[in-house]
Amino acid sequence: MNENPMLPFLGKLVEVRDLAAEIKLFRVEMLNGGGEAFRTFQPGQFAFVSAFGLGEAPFGIANASGRGPAVDFAVARLGSVTTGLHELGEGDIVGVRGPLGNWFPMKKFKGKNLIVLGGGIGGAPLRPVIQHVLDHRSDFGRLTILWAARRPDLLVFTDEYAEWRTAPDTDLHLTVDIPDEKWSHNVGLITQLLEKISPPKENTVTITCGPPIMIHFVTKMLQEKMGFSPKNNYVTLEARMHCGMGKCGRCNLGEKLVCVDGPVFNMEEVGGLLETFL
Amino acid sequence: MSQTNPDKKRWLISQVELEAWLDGIASARTLIAPFQESGILLYRPVSKSAEIAWHGQTSMSVHINRPVLSVKEIFFPPTERLFTIQKTGQEIHLEETFPDWETVVFGVRPCDARGVKLLDALFLDTNPVDSFYARRRGNTTLIGLACQELGPTCFCTSVGGTPDNPRDMDIMLYETDGYYLVEAVSEKGRFLIPGGEWKETTASPQQTTYNRQFPVLDKKIWPEHFNDEYWLRISERCLSCRACAYVCPTCRCFAVRDEMVKPGEFERIRCWDSCAGENYRRVAGGHQPRAEKSDRLRNRIYCKFYYYPEQYGLGASTACTGCGRCLDVCPVGVDITEVLMDLEKPA
């Protein structure tokens, strides 16, 4: 590790492609010391990506460590750093600081059924979970994916749905708030889709990522309508953060810090605090 | 209760000896001391003791008028360069520079030294170590000056401190009838003391008396007050101006961003920030948790008395040092001691 933990590693963009409207996938090959730091990382961890000259921002790592040496990030063009990243192309250099934060306890999930609920770009940090399950398929029970977005053109990783659908013991359910004329799947909020499917709670854990309001209503429904124990509901939270190492103070959730105590939380530990996040 | 150690080696020196000593320090190292700048008292580098904001011949003006900003800025400056960025075509080159000059700070008040100790818990004692803070801290010696009385807004005694507490200093000075009683507190401090030249003494420092005490809720009780309507009421007048955080010896939130030096050359900097600010939590895309100022004021107070102590293992300690600066600067009179008293009252 560098003496200065704020100093990023350099990484080369080896692939940049459109993932959805205003959302791009950046595949980074780490250079120099970064290769060792990112030799392995866990589903749920995040990293800061720098657009040098504009700044850096945190992103959930969007691929499983076992899927090759590169590191994927899904970036929605929203602020100055993400706009700067969107202007970069293959061969350009970015900074990467990480891997940071905790992760989904995949070992603990062995033998269990998994329900993965992703909303919009919130699906990005869940893709490594899906990839990990598919790569170790016999370790897990049924995998149910609920994938939502405001509009069809905002759904991420559409080119991978075929792989997910055809994997053994795996279901994919799609929903959008505002369909277009070609849309043939569900219409409505992810909570409506969840209620419709009503997967059994036995031997099952849920993993949710999306806008804070979605996380709030999904976990509420899981617990109040479907009888899930909060300890079987995992969420990954996003917060504005500037260091990712428990120093800058920005991402607190009560006495917890999203960067070092999270971003993955069990609802049993953060249940009451989540409201301060809305 | 005095925290002074009866076994500590002590010396009694005159104002002349003190100034000669400080002049010697200033010639070899950077000496930082209370200094009048644009009419306000600040900790600033001085080239000789005569530049220090002394008051009269034998005592210091700072005995009640503590500097407007704490010594925090010496270890954690308002703006700090983390590295420079050179962009040439597709090439990126990063270069680091670290601060490594030796500094002695004179005239540190016990509340401020406490503040530094509290920042240590975050920047030094919690991994990863902050390399900038660590360099400055390692190269700095704190010479304290006991307060002879509590200032009008001081309340260190309510948060585990005393006006003459030497525990967080390297060297402690107590003013006494035109003389200074000098005590070496740490090894680092002992190193700065000119052994044979000074007259040793067996005298003990006179304790500062005080009678002001505010109630501080036990940490366990804080969560019960989180949803109190009180926070709406007390924050009604808050302007979210963040002056409280700016002068606070323990507020340490920072923002990181890139600034252009010239085309192709940038600096990644960090600068002070505060949870009281309106956009502090706003994420790209517009979502803004803690949108109400009551949420933000509550967060700042909780950070001092509950969150920070929990996060960085301070035990029963608070992250407030009782320096009272936030009371001095708040333009609308939000008073943390009033909050402490209000919380103590039955709902």
Interface contact A255, partner B, CB < 8 A: yes
Residues of A in contact with B299 (CB under 8 A): 252
Residue corresponding to tokens 């983390």: B82
pLDDT digits (tens, 9 = 90+) for B206-258: 888 887 889 999 999 999 999 999 999 999 999 999 999 999 999 999 999 99
Beta bridge partners of B12: B181, B199
Residue corresponding to tokens 């270069």: B95
Residues of A in contact with B129 (CB under 8 A): 5
DSSP chain A: --SSTTPPEEEEEEEEEEEETTEEEEEEEE-TTHHHHTSS--TT-EEEEEETTTEEEEEEB-S-TTS-S-EEEEEE--SHHHHHHHT--TT-EEEEEEEES----TTTTTTSEEEEEEEGGGGGGGHHHHHHHHHTGGGS--EEEEEEESSGGG-S-GGGHHHHHHSTTEEEEEEESS--TT--SEES-HHHHHHHH----TTEEEEEES-HHHHHHHHHHHHHTS---GGGEEEE-----SSSSS-S-TTEETTEEHHHH-SEEEHHHHGGGGGGG-
Look at residue B5 and tell me whether its pLDDT is greater than 90: no
Torsions phi, psi for A83 (to 5 deg): -65, -40
Cα gap B253→A81, rounded to integer Å: 21
Look at residue B62 and tell me whether its pLDDT is greater than 60: no
CB atoms within 10 A of CB A217: 16
pLDDT for the residue numbered B7: 62
Q: Give the chain A residue nearest B127 (alpha carbons).
A: A245
3-state secondary structure of B296: helix
Residues of B in contact with A212 (CB under 8 A): 287, 289
pLDDT for the residue numbered B57: 35
Cα gap A265→A227, rounded to integer Å: 19
Residue corresponding to tokens 């939502």: A148
pLDDT digits (tens, 9 = 90+) for B214-223: 999 999 999 9
Residues of B in contact with A5 (CB under 8 A): 128-131
For every one of its 278 residues, what pLDDT tens digit does chain A have, with 9 covering 90 and above?
567 899 999 999 999 999 999 999 999 999 988 889 999 999 999 999 999 999 999 999 999 998 878 999 999 999 999 999 999 999 999 999 999 999 999 999 999 999 999 999 999 999 999 999 999 999 999 999 999 999 999 999 999 999 999 999 999 999 999 999 999 999 999 999 999 999 999 999 999 999 989 999 999 999 999 999 999 999 999 889 999 999 999 999 999 999 999 999 999 998 778 777 77
Cα gap A12→A3, rounded to integer Å: 22
User: Nearest CA to CA, how far is A56 from chain B (Å)?
Assistant: 7
CB atoms within 10 A of CB A231: 12
Cα gap A215→B283, rounded to integer Å: 16
Mean pLDDT of B139-156: 93
Beta bridge partners of B33: B44
Torsions phi, psi for A256 (to 5 deg): -95, 155
Cα gap B110→B145, rounded to integer Å: 8
Cβ atoms of A41 and A61 within 8 Å: the answer is: yes
Spell out the domain ranges in chain B: 10-344
pLDDT for the residue numbered B66: 83
E strand or H helix at B108: strand B103-108
pLDDT band at B291 (very low <50, low <70, confident <90, very high): confident
**Closest-CA residue to B105 (of B67, B134, B155):** B67
Cα gap A61→B102, rounded to integer Å: 41
Contacts of range B287-290, beta carbons closer than 8 Å, 24 or more positions apart:
B287/A211, B287/A212, B289/A212, B289/A239, B289/A276, B289/A277, B289/A278, B290/A276
Q: What is the pTM of this model?
A: 0.93
Q: Alpha helices of B102-254 — where are they, by DSSP H?
A: 110-123, 131-138, 187-192, 230-235, 243-247
Residues 6+ apart with CB under 8 A from A130: A116, A143, A145, A164
Cβ atoms of A38 and A30 within 8 Å: the answer is: yes
Inspect the interface and report whether the beta carbons of A276 and B260 lie closer than 8 Å. Answer: no
> Maximum CA pair distance of chain B?
69
Residues of A in contact with B287 (CB under 8 A): 211-212
- Structure token digits, residue B44: 């600033």
Interface contact A273, partner B, CB < 8 A: no
Cα gap A83→B152, rounded to integer Å: 51
Interface contact B303, partner A, CB < 8 A: yes
- Between positions 78 and 107 of A, the ones with CB within 8 A of B are 78-79, 81-82, 91-93, 95
E strand or H helix at B14: strand B10-14
pLDDT digits (tens, 9 = 90+) for B156-206: 999 999 999 999 999 999 998 889 999 999 999 999 999 788 999 988 888
pLDDT for the residue numbered B60: 44
Task: Give chain A's domains with CATH numbers.
Answer: 9-100 (2.40.30.10), 113-236 (3.40.50.80)
Cα gap B268→B274, rounded to integer Å: 19
Look at residue B4 and tell me whether its pLDDT is greater than 60: no
Q: Which of A211, A246, A276 sits opposite B126 (nearest CB)?
A: A246
**Closest-CA residue to B165 (of B212, B214, B105, B112):** B112
Share of chain B above pLDDT 90, in %: 75
- Structure token digits, residue A148: 């939502």
Inspect the interface and report whether the beta carbons of B284 and A257 lie closer than 8 Å. Answer: no
User: Nearest CA to CA, how far is B326 from chain A (Å)?
Assistant: 19
Query: What are the CA-CA distances from residue B179 to residues B51, B60, B64 (Å)?
Result: 20, 12, 18
Task: Return the C-alpha torsion angle B262, B268, B269, B274, nearest 10.
Answer: 120
